[in-house]
Structure 1
Amino acid sequence: MPESLDPIQEEVQDHAGDSRLNGFIALFVAVVATFMALCNVKDGNVVQAMQQSQARAVDQWAYYQSKSTKQHIAENAVEMLRVQLDMSPGLKPAAQAKVEARIAAQEAAAKKYEREKEQIKAEAEQAAKDYEAMNVHDDQFDLAEACLSVAVALAGVTALTRKRWLFAVAGVFASIGLIFGLAGFLHWNLHSEVMAKLLG
C-alpha cells in the first residue's frame, strides 16, 4: 500500500512545483508587459516630439533661405543704385540725396537680414540637435521593447516546456530591456549602435 502512494505523492509534488513555476511566470509576464506598455507610450511621445523638431528644423531652414534671398535682393539693389549714381554725374543734389538715402536703406536692410539669418540658423541647428538627442531615446525604447517582447515569448515557452533555463534566459532579456527602458525614461546616455542598426 505505501508503494502505491509514492507515485501519487510525486505527482502532487510535481504539480505543486509546476504551479509555483507558473505563478512566477505569470507575475514575470505581468510586470514585464506593464513596463513594456509604459515604454511604448513614452516612445510614442518621443516620436511625436521628434517629428515636431524635424518640422521646426525644416521650417527654420526655409525661413533662413527666404532671408538669404531678401539679403541678396537688397545687396543687388545697392549695387544697381550705386551704378545709377555713378552713371548720372549731373544729378541735382535733391535727387542724389534720395538715391543715397535709398542706398543706405538697402544696406541697412541687408545687414538686418544677415543678423536675422544667424538667429534663424542657430534655431534650426538647435532643432536638429534636439532631434538627434530624442532619436537616442527612441532607439533605447525600441531596444527595450524588443528585449521585453523576447522575454515574454521565452516565458510563454517556459510555461509550456517547463525548461527552467529558458526562464533564466527570459530574465536576461528582461533585464536588458529594463536597463534600456530606464535609460529612455531617465535620459541616460546609453546607446547601442549595433542594436539600433539591427532594429532600424
Structure 2
Amino acid sequence: MEARLAAAESRNRLNNRVAVAVALISAFMAVTKIKDDNIVQAMLQAKSDAVDTWNEYQAKKLKLHLSELGLNQARALRLAVPPQGAAALAEQENGYAATIARYQAESETIMKKAKGFEKQYDDLNFRDDQFDLSDALLSISLAILAVTALTANLWLFRFSLVFAGFGGVMGMAGLMGLSLHPDWLTKLLS
C-alpha cells in the first residue's frame, strides 16, 4: 500500500513539474512569437523597399542609356548639319552630358540604398532563423512533456529539458540580438 502511495506521489510530483515546465515554455514561446512576428513584418518591409529601390535603379539606368543614345545622335547629327544648326546641337549635347552625369550619380546612390535594404533583410532573416529554431525546439520539448505526463518517465522529462534549454538559448539569442546561429541546422531545415 505504501509503495502505491509513494508511486502515486512520485507521479504527482512529476506531473506538477511537467505542468510548470509547459506553462513556462508556453509563456516564453508567446513572447518570442510576438518578437518574431515583428521581425517578419520588418523583413517584408525591407524586401519591399529593396525591390522598389532596385526598380528605381533600373529606371535611372534606362534613362541614362537613353540620354547616352541622345548624346551620340546629337554628336552624329552635328557633323551632318550646317554650322548654324551645330550650335543648337552643341547645346543639346551639353544638356545630355549634364543629364548623364546626374543619372550616373543618382544610380550609384540608389544602388547603395538598395544594397542597404538587402543587408537589412539578411540581418533580420538571421534573427528570424533564431526564433524559428527556438519555436521548433520548444515545440519538440512540449511534445515530449506530453508523453512524459502520460508515461511518468523521469528520463523523458529530463530529455525534454534539453530541447527546452536549447530552444530557450536560441530564443534569448533572438531577443538579445546575439550572433548565435547554427548555420548547418538552418541550412538543413530551409
Give the TM-score category using the shorter length: over 0.9
State the TM-score, normalizing by the size of structure 1.
0.90
Q: Which residue of 2 aligns with 1:18?
A: 11
Contact 2:145 2:157 in 1 (8 A): yes
Give 1:140's aligned residue.
130
Distance 1:198 1:83 in 2: 59
Q: State the identity as a percent.
A: 36
Structure 2 matches for 1:31-42, cutoff 5 A? 31-42=24-35
Q: Could you tell me which residue of structure 2 aligns to residue 27 of structure 1?
A: 20
| Per-residue CA distance 1:68-100 (angstroms, 9 max, x = gap) | 111111111111111111112x322xx433221
In the other structure, the counterpart of 2:182 is: 192
Task: Report the alpha carbon displacement of residue 40 of structure 1 after superposing the two structures with TM.
Answer: 1.9
Structure 2: segments with no counterpart, 5+ residues: none
Distance in 1 between residues matched to 2:71 and 2:152, nearest whole Å: 84
Unmatched tracts of structure 1, length 5 or more: 1-6
Query: If you compute each CA radius of gyration, which structure gives the higher value, 1 or 2?
Result: 1
RMSD: 1.3
With 140-149 and 44-53 compared, the bigger mean Cα shift is at: 44-53
Where do 1:28-107 residues align within 5 Å?
28-88=21-81, 90-92=82-84, 95-107=85-97
- Aligned amino acid, residue 18 of structure 1: R
Q: CA deviation at 1:61?
A: 1.0
Point out the more displaced range, 172-181 or 72-81.
72-81
CA distance, structure 2, for counterparts of residue 80 and residue 123 of structure 1: 32
Q: Contact 1:144–1:178 (CA<8 Å) still a contact in 2?
A: yes
Q: Whole-Å Cα distance in 2 between the matches of residues 10 and 169 of structure 1?
A: 26
Q: Which runs of 4+ in 1 moved over 3 A?
A: none
The 3-state SS of whatever aligns with 1:188 is coil
TM value normalised by structure 2 = 0.95
